[in-house]
Amino acid sequence: MKFKQFLESKIGRIVYWSVLILLAAVFLFSGLMIALYYIDGHQSDVQYQELAQMVQVDADRPDEKQPTAAEKYAPLLEQNEDFIGWIHMDGTRVDYPVVQKREIKNYYLRRGFDKKYSYYGVPYAFEDATFQEADNFVIYGHHMDNGSMFSDLMKYTSPVFYQEHPQIQFDTMEGYGTYEIIAVLKTVAGGENEFHYYKFSKAASAEEFDAYVAECKARSLYNIDTTAKYGDKLITLSTCEYSKENGRLAIIAKKVNG
């Protein structure tokens, strides 16, 4: 039977319309998913802009009249008891609250600050150690196509950008904190011979801490003079990096004040 004759047959018409309806359904579903993705992104941006406005302070006020970190961020802690700090990086869109759910692994992977579902999530720390306990506190954020969350960490693959923006501001309820970057590296999560920076939290000895710092420095994409020694407080910012399967970009920094 020729194709034209098949289409004109009863079975052929049924197949034709079934395929057409299926393609239309797939098209509509794909369009809906894309629309929801962008709506979610817009709602995420609005939410974090509103949160940022809540913690703005008057820069013209004398230093002695500026609020403490606990006073400044109290409204966010009231909204979400999992709030642990605020991270800001000049020259990027990174300006977000940071949360941690100690009881549930990856709780905020696809939840916003309001705990509702969000594909964009919110920067969060794993549940393995508190900020106070950790020698190295790892903070995770998504690498989103629209440039939000931790996407702008990719700017630090450029040594020129690093030289212009060598610091990270990470405040907690205990105080304001400025950190200087000591290494920027790429690796593969779970890779057998890769550097599992995210597994290092608490050093058992000075030698273990120094060995970790040395590995970070050796794997850094470019030379950074600033380093760290045992007793320093480290934070590591981690996001996906797409040049390899399961790739990760990590920025390691040490606390210098606060």
194 plus 234 within the same structural domain = yes
Alpha-carbon distances, residue 32 vs 18, 25, 36, 44, 161 (angstroms): 21, 10, 6, 18, 38
Of 44-48, 92-96, 130-134, minimum mean pLDDT range: 44-48
What local confidence, expressed as pLDDT, does residue 230 receive?
95
* Range of the structural domain that residue 154 is part of: 63-257
Determine, yes or no, domain membership for 83. yes
What local confidence, expressed as pLDDT, does residue 51 receive?
86
CA 58 to CA 188: how far, in whole Å? 43
149 plus 241 within the same structural domain = yes
Determine, yes or no, domain membership for 58. no
38 plus 94 within the same structural domain = no
Q: What contacts 24+ positions apart, CB below 8 Å, involve 62-67?
A: none
Q: Which residue, 31, 53, 75, sits at the end of a domain?
A: 53
170 plus 87 within the same structural domain = yes
Q: What is the pLDDT of residues 21-70, one digit of tens each?
A: 776 666 665 665 555 555 555 566 778 888 888 787 666 566 667 889 99
Higher pLDDT, 91 or 6: 91
Confidence label for 15 from pLDDT (cuts 50, 70 and 90): low
Q: What is the pLDDT of residues 162-208, one digit of tens each?
A: 999 999 999 999 999 999 999 999 999 887 778 899 999 999 999 99
CA 71 to CA 55: how far, in whole Å? 9
Provide the number of structural domains found in the chain.
2
Q: Which residue, 53, 76, 95, sits at the end of a domain?
A: 53
104 plus 43 within the same structural domain = no
21 plus 79 within the same structural domain = no
**pTM across the whole model:** 0.82
Of 14-23, 26-35, 65-74, 235-244, minimum mean pLDDT range: 26-35
- C-alpha atoms less than 13 angstroms from C-alpha of 26 in its C-beta half-sphere: 6
What local confidence, expressed as pLDDT, does residue 119 receive?
87
What local confidence, expressed as pLDDT, does residue 202 receive?
93
